[in-house]
Amino acid sequence: MIYPTQRAVVLMAAGAPAALLIGLALPGYWSLGGAWVALILGLILVDALVGPARSEAEIKIEAPTAIGVGASGTADVTGAFARLAPRSSILALEANALLGLGPDRVHLRDGAAQIEITPLRRGEGEIVGAWLRWPGPLGLVWKQIRRQPKREIAVIPNVQAVKDEAIRLFSRDALFGIKTQLDTGDGADFHALREMVGAMDTRTIDWKQSARHGKLLGKEFRVERNHPIVFAIDGGRQMCEPLLGVPRIDRALNAALMLAYVSLRLGDRAGLFGFDSAPRLYTGVLAGAHAFDRLRRLSSQLDYSTEETNYTLGLTQLGAALKRRSLVVVFTDFVDATSAELMVENVTPLVRRHLVVFVVLRDEELEAIVRREPLSAEDVTRAVTAAGLLKARDVVLERLRRLGVHIVDAPVARLGPTLISAYLDLKRRELM
């Protein structure tokens, strides 16, 4: 696009009063007014033809592929020209609703500048448009190009905070010997033979090897590694409601990523499964040095939803995808008896083949309503309703316990550490 600048408009408009005065004072020279307009139009045409053409310009954008919620990133933008670059140019970017950009427009210095990117909420952010404009040599026209870079930027949970907390817990457990005990001394995988000492279980004595070596030798075992752990995260309407100011699904993802980091460090494998009215994401179980980075990148695909959760379709699909016994950690929430009944029915087949952990997001807001001293009839009504919801929730949890489901119930501020402790306890008890 090529269009006149403010300077061209002012010069064109300045010729009108002069032409009027000439027409009144010297009617025979009225054509000078038209000559002025023609001169300005000619200069505008010359300005549009000289200098860098629109086809010779290009926009280059270097942006991070992922940004954590609460953090910020920087996009390096460059206006490149095949020939001599103009004296100045202006660049602007457009992003979808998940990203905030600032400033709206930047003046490129030496053809480059930086634009700050602020994530507004978790999901798949994207830079959808870029504009670059520059003036002609005479400053009478703007030349402008628009590009659609389609640069995707995943808005992920605050991974650094997750890593810091997981490392702190992991290091604390290792300090008291838990990590060492998980490596050797328990489990079912044969590790080595060692001479019997007083603290060893006599059932581990290898009589054949003891007879061969002339001394009592016992078998030392280690806990099995490479266990698949799948985090089944409900992304339905109820899980997208805020709990203490933060959506439940974000709290679930933070806890899942925290446990994924620890489990990968311990040699297990981890994967994400997201569903609402239908399955939305299944990463498979991943292992290796880059598994955590891939999981955090894929977690941005679990967007907020307004649809009701379909437990039948979601959990049935998950059960069919798991080919070997796995630890399934379910993050969900329920408010009515119908959804709770459907959830219990579809968790039952999983319990027969897998180890299931049900993570309860304790509703501290309802508990505060029950504890609050009633000062009016409305307060009594709220307290009775909240108590009924909590009682119905406890009934469902008790049914799950009877099925063999392990329950993790903790305040939201301690959800991640409590989940890690439950995972380490399951490994210690050799239930995995």
Cα-based distances in Å from 185 to 176, 182, 194, 197, 227: 15, 7, 11, 13, 18
Count structural domains, the chain: 4
For 299, residues 6+ apart whose C-beta sits below 8 A from its C-beta are 156, 157, 253, 256, 257, 272
Report strand pairing: 246-247 vs 242-243. Answer: antiparallel
71: containing domain: 54-156
Same domain, 202 and 63: no
- The answer as to whether 184 is a domain residue is no
- The answer as to whether 332 is a domain residue is yes
Q: Which residue has the tokens 């504890």?
A: 371
Given a contact cutoff of 8 angstroms between Cβ atoms, the answer to whether 255 and 169 are in contact is no
Given a contact cutoff of 8 angstroms between Cβ atoms, the answer to whether 98 and 132 are in contact is no
pLDDT score recorded for residue 175: 38
Instruction: Among 202, 222, 242, give the residue marking a domain's end.
Output: 222
Same domain, 201 and 237: no
- The answer as to whether 181 is a domain residue is no
pLDDT score recorded for residue 109: 79
- The answer as to whether 139 is a domain residue is yes
Per-residue pLDDT of the chain (432 residues; tens, 9 = 90+): 898 999 988 888 887 777 777 777 777 776 777 788 888 889 999 999 988 889 889 999 999 988 888 788 999 999 988 878 888 899 999 999 899 998 888 999 788 999 999 988 888 899 999 999 999 999 999 999 999 998 999 888 876 666 676 666 666 554 333 343 444 445 555 567 778 777 677 777 888 888 888 888 888 766 566 889 999 999 999 898 888 878 889 889 989 998 999 899 888 999 999 999 999 999 999 998 789 989 988 998 888 888 989 999 999 999 999 989 999 999 998 877 778 888 888 899 999 999 999 998 888 888 889 999 888 999 999 999 989 888 888 888 999 999 999 999 888 888 888 999 899 899 888 787
- The answer as to whether 108 is a domain residue is yes
Q: Tell me, what CATH number does 271's domain have?
A: 3.40.50.410
Handedness of CA 20, 22, 27, 31 (dihedral sign): negative
Same domain, 27 and 14: yes
Same domain, 117 and 237: no
For 415, residues 6+ apart whose C-beta sits below 8 A from its C-beta are 251, 254, 255, 359, 361, 408
Separation of alpha carbons 43 and 326, rounded Å:
75
Q: Which residue has the tokens 């002025």?
A: 36
pLDDT score recorded for residue 71: 81
- Give the end-to-end CA distance of the chain in Å, rounded to a whole number: 64
User: Please, which contacts does 104-113 make with residues 24 or more away whose CB atoms are closer than 8 Å?
Assistant: 106/77, 108/77, 108/78, 108/79, 111/78, 111/79, 111/80, 111/81, 111/85, 112/76, 112/77, 112/78, 112/79, 113/76, 113/77
Written as six digits, the tokens of 114 are 């930086």
pLDDT score recorded for residue 285: 94
- The answer as to whether 329 is a domain residue is yes
For 40, residues 6+ apart whose C-beta sits below 8 A from its C-beta are 8, 11, 12, 15, 140
Quickly list DSSP for 270-338.
EEEEEESSSEEEE---B-STTHHHHHHHHGGG-----SPP-HHHHHHHHHHH--S--EEEEE----SHH
Same domain, 30 and 150: no
pLDDT score recorded for residue 99: 92
Same domain, 195 and 106: no
Q: Tell me, what CATH number does 103's domain have?
A: 2.60.40.1930
**From the centroid of its chain, how far is CA 368?**
30
Same domain, 361 and 213: no
Report strand pairing: 228-234 vs 269-275. Answer: parallel
Given a contact cutoff of 8 angstroms between Cβ atoms, the answer to whether 44 and 4 are in contact is yes
Same domain, 98 and 205: no
Report strand pairing: 355-361 vs 406-410. Answer: parallel
- The answer as to whether 424 is a domain residue is yes
Same domain, 33 and 150: no
Alpha helices in 6-147 (DSSP H): 6-25, 31-49
Same domain, 242 and 381: yes
Same domain, 230 and 336: yes
pLDDT score recorded for residue 225: 66
Written as six digits, the tokens of 356 are 């299931």
pLDDT score recorded for residue 182: 41
Same domain, 230 and 90: no
- The answer as to whether 178 is a domain residue is no
